[in-house]
Amino acid sequence: MNRRRSAYVFLLSSVAALGGLLFGYDTAVISGAIGFLRSHFSLDAAETGWAAASLLIGCMIGAGVAGVVSDAFGRKRALMASAVLFAGSALWSALPRGLTEFVIARVLGGVGVGMASLLSPLYIAEIAPARSRGRLVSLNQLAIVLGILLVYFVNYWIAGLGTEAWNVDVGWRWMVGSEGFPAIVFFFLLLLVPESPRWLVKQGRTDRALAVLSRLSESGQPAKELAEIQNAVSREGSSLRQLFRPGMRKALVIGIVLAVLQQVTGINVFMYYAPEIFKQVGSGTNAALFQTVIIGLFNVSFTLVAMRTVDRVGRKKLMMIGIAGMGVSLSAISLAALWNKTELWLLVFILGYIASFAMSIGPIVWVVISEIFPTRIRGRAMAISTVALWAADYLVSLTFPIINENTWLVEHFNHAFPFWIYASLCVVMFVFVWRSVPETKGKTLEEIEKLWMAG
């Protein structure tokens, strides 16, 4: 029976994690399209950054409203709304008459991405047992990197269907429009999953919550789990002011700072601009897209490492190991750029960075953010951290082309300067995790809440 229940929890988590797959797909599809899009609309460096980063404006909006929407209407309905936004954006961004329409369509998709980035790990955290919560929430990160890898393959395949001129005129449209099919599949699969039992308790629907827990509980004591959830919810206020109480204030700071540092250490520079980086060192279009596929494979492989170890090794230790590896790799990337090393060296150092990120802060930051806030305000509290994450992502994505193509910086540092910035921020993140982030491995959500309440 426990095996059947574990399989059921895994199945529900997998469906919810499809929001993560679409999150990864939608954010990374621009990597293959951006060069062709730039030529099609004759964009300069600032406009190129805006075209790539515009999605993130929507992400901030989506993350900002997802908590309120999911607290009011439920995790399931909010995820279904994100699926509709994904599908609509895919169609519109494939058929724009100008850059402005493309940007609006991408912002619309970004709202879906922002909602899914918050809601998928939140839903999984609320249905998962404590002993496997880290692994199951990491399933969302696995889905994100699988979405990234999938779209790298799709971009590579579409680019190979025609000439450079065809890709500039038509190919990029198929790239950005290809997301419509998985978005529709996600919507219909969500019809089959139950609502979060913790949200149902918050709404006073205890009979329904008990029915859901009866199918989820690995302890075989759903009534006891229901009582624990009711007790935790009864102690919570419904106002965000609770987050500024002693103890909970620290949880909020940890959530925000981890979210920001995950992004400003440079990951999405490689997710969005990797083909353009490889072209700078002499790769052709097909070779650059193929090297990006290799990056995607490493991303998936080392995310699997994190999933196998996060509940055994712990959140904090894995993050510190990974951050150290990221800092070393970024320093090597900057030196490779400064000394004009070949694309092979650059690829090796980027793969080292990707491996370090994927086995640590890639999935684990989402795990920590999903588990440190009280049930009644978890949606809105996660929204604050997730908005901060997308704001940081927007800043990095918008500024990278401008910094990387600055004439004076290129003349003196040969594209190395941005990577020095990201490496220095890895040092900041390492110190923050070491000094401020507690270990939450093996604790129930209610036990973590008591930890904060105890100061």
The SS3 assignment for 429 reads helix
359 HSE (CA, 13 A, CB side): 22
Cβ contact 69:81 at 8 Å: yes
pLDDT of res. 342: 65
Q: What is the dihedral of CA 313, 316, 321, 322, to 10 degrees?
A: 110
pLDDT of res. 61: 92
Residue 15: closest CA among 159, 164, 195: 195
Domains of the chain, with CATH numbers?
A: 2-193+236-453 (1.20.1250.20)
- In one letter, which amino acid is 419? F
pLDDT of res. 238: 55
Angle at 27 between CA 24 and CA 28, to 5 degrees: 80
In tens, the pLDDT along 243-288 reads 677 667 788 888 899 999 999 998 888 877 777 777 776 666 677 7
In tens, the pLDDT along 416-444 reads 888 999 999 999 999 999 988 888 777 77
Give the number of other CB atoms < 10 A from CB of residue 242.
19
pLDDT of res. 1: 47
Tokens read off for 399: 């500024």
pTM metric for this prediction: 0.75
pLDDT of res. 20: 87
pLDDT of res. 240: 61
* pLDDT tens for the chain, residues 1 to 455: 467 777 888 889 889 999 889 888 988 888 888 889 999 998 888 888 888 888 888 988 998 888 788 888 989 999 999 999 999 999 999 999 889 999 999 999 999 988 988 888 888 888 887 777 777 877 887 888 889 889 988 998 998 898 989 999 999 999 999 988 899 999 999 999 999 888 888 888 888 888 888 887 766 677 887 887 787 777 665 556 766 776 677 888 888 999 999 999 988 888 777 777 777 766 666 777 788 888 888 888 998 888 788 878 888 899 999 999 999 999 998 888 777 766 678 888 999 999 999 999 988 887 888 787 776 667 677 778 888 888 898 888 888 888 888 878 777 777 788 899 999 999 999 999 998 888 877 777 777 777 766 65
Q: Is 241 exposed, middle or buried (0-12, 13-18, 19+ CB in 10 A)?
A: exposed
Q: 363 vs 113, 174, 357, 360, CA distance in Å? A: 16, 30, 9, 6
Place of tokens 């006891």: 224
Where does 74-171 have alpha helices with state H?
A: 75-93, 99-127, 133-159, 164-166
Q: State whether the Cα torsion 399-392-306-75 is positive or negative.
A: negative
